[in-house]
């Protein structure tokens, strides 16, 4: 999770910690150059208060927090035109202005997603996908479109996945998932009683599960084997469209597919060539062009 996101999602801050948080947010570019004593003086707190604040944000201490703040400043400076993810264009914008805003929003979203990725989590998730006998994709609405795209890619490497919620069969799908399978949940908000019950059901049966979400406080997280949380500046409801969240999901799923592919790269390339030759020889590829 990025520093700014940790700051915005911090809970149960004391008065001193709230003052530290407000100062850092207002003076983000200055803090990387400040020693802990200087920050304590600027916030009318103490050395120990700064350390406690850093640990509340899940950093080991001030040094690691300051490093994260430095990264946040660099990322902010590298951003393109700042675009509101919920209302990325105005009524008076020209078609080319709208196109530029959508371009910047898409680029910023991918950069923001990349900055939050963790190599260990990516490797673990890809390994689960590769080893799974069957893959069940739980996704509805716009997220199901992303799931279908992922499903289409998996076919290319002989991985046949199932859209578990396609015909409202998610309960039966969950009942038939085995320990050699993998259930992947796509939920930006990370909420929903029915989904939560399904995850609890799978957790009790020790079924491998992977959650992709944009909510670090999602009540789903305790019930899944692994979660990848990617936070965007998109609201749950008040917005023109799901621009940012779906770009993020698409990029994340494409990345996972690429990592899965790379784990058995030579085998997958050999299969690709064999299938391609067979399709050309038997004429079925030409018919589908």
pTM of the model: 0.76
Together in a domain, 129 and 238: yes
The first and second tokens of residue 135, run together, are 């893959």
Q: Which pLDDT score is estimated for 231?
A: 87
Q: Which residue has the higher pLDDT, 92 or 6?
A: 92
Is 84 exposed, middle or buried, given 0-12, 13-18 or 19+ CB atoms closer than 10 A? middle
Which helix (DSSP H) or strand (DSSP E) does residue 226 occupy? strand 226-229
Residue 80 pLDDT > 70: no
Residue 236's pLDDT is: 81
Query: 249-284 burial, b for 16+ CB within 10 Å, e for fewer?
Result: bbbbbebbbebbbeeeeeebeeeeeeeeeeeeeeee
List of long-range contacts for 32-37, beta carbons under 8 Å, 24+ apart: 32/66, 32/69, 32/70, 32/73, 34/66, 36/62
CATH classification at residue 64: 1.10.10.10
Confidence band for 288, pLDDT divided at 50, 70 and 90: low
CATH of the domain at 185: 3.40.50.10490
Instruction: Indicate whether 49 belongs to any domain.
Output: yes
90-135 per-position pLDDT tens digit: 999 999 999 999 998 999 899 889 988 999 999 999 999 999 999 9
The verdict on 240 and 124 lying in the same domain is yes
Residue range(s) defining the domain that contains residue 149: 116-271
Same domain membership, residue 261 and residue 148 = yes
Match 């578990």 to its residue by tokens: 164
Q: Is residue 175 part of a domain?
A: yes
Query: How high is the pLDDT of residue 7?
Result: 87
Are residues 166 and 238 located together in one domain of the fold? yes
User: Is residue 252 assigned to a domain?
Assistant: yes
Answer yes or no: are the C-beta atoms of 231 and 1 closer than 8 Å.
yes
Q: In terms of domains, do 166 and 48 share one?
A: no
Structural domain includes residue 106: no
What's 67-85 look like in SS3?
A: HHHHHHHHHHHHCCCCCCC
pLDDT of residue 78: 58
Residues 69, 120 within the same domain: no
pLDDT at 79: 56
Please list, in sequence order, all residues whose beta carbon lies within 8 angstroms of the beta carbon of residue 31, skipping any fewer than 6 positions away: 24, 39, 66, 69
Q: Which token pair is 151?
A: 């499903």
Span 62-80, mean pLDDT?
78
Is 32 domain-assigned? yes
In a domain, 135, yes or no: yes
Is 74 inside a domain boundary?
yes
Q: How many residues does the chain have?
A: 289
Count: domains in the chain: 2
260 and 180 part of one domain:
yes
**Does residue 156 carry a pLDDT above 90?**
yes
Cα(49)–Cα(62) distance, rounded to whole angstroms?
10
Mean pLDDT value of segment 176-197: 95
Q: Give a three-class secondary structure readout of 134-147.
A: CEEEECCHHHHHHH
Tell me the pLDDT tens digit for each residue of 221-267: 999 999 999 988 888 888 888 999 999 999 999 999 999 999 999 99
Shared domain check, 202 and 147 = yes
């Amino acid at each position: 999770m990025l520093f700014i996101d940790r700051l915005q999602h911090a809970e149960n801050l004391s008065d001193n910690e709230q003052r530290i948080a407000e100062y850092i947010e207002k003076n983000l570019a200055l803090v990387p150059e400040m020693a802990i004593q200087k920050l304590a003086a600027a916030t009318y707190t103490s050395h120990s208060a700064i350390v406690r604040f850093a640990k509340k944000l899940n950093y080991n201490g001030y040094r690691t927090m300051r490093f994260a703040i430095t990264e946040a400043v660099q990322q902010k400076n590298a951003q393109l035109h700042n675009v509101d993810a919920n209302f990325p264009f105005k009524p008076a914008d020209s078609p080319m202005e709208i196109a530029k805003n959508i371009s910047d929003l898409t680029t910023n979203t991918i950069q923001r997603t990349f900055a939050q990725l963790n190599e260990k989590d990516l490797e673990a998730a890809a390994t689960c996908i590769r080893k799974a006998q069957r893959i069940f994709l739980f996704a509805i609405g716009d997220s199901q479109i992303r799931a279908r795209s992922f499903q289409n890619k998996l076919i290319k490497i002989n991985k046949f996945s199932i859209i578990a919620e396609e015909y409202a069969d998610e309960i039966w799908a969950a009942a038939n998932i085995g320990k050699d399978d993998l259930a992947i949940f796509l939920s930006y908000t990370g909420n929903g009683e029915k989904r939560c019950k399904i995850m609890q059901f799978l957790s009790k049966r020790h079924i491998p599960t992977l959650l992709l979400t944009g909510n670090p406080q999602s009540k789903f997280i305790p019930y899944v084997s692994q979660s990848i949380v990617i936070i965007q500046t998109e609201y749950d409801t008040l917005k023109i469209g799901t621009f940012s969240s779906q770009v993020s999901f698409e990029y994340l799923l494409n990345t996972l597919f690429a990592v899965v592919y790379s784990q058995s790269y030579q085998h997958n390339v050999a299969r690709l060539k064999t299938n391609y030759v067979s399709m050309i020889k038997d004429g079925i590829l030409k018919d589908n062009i």
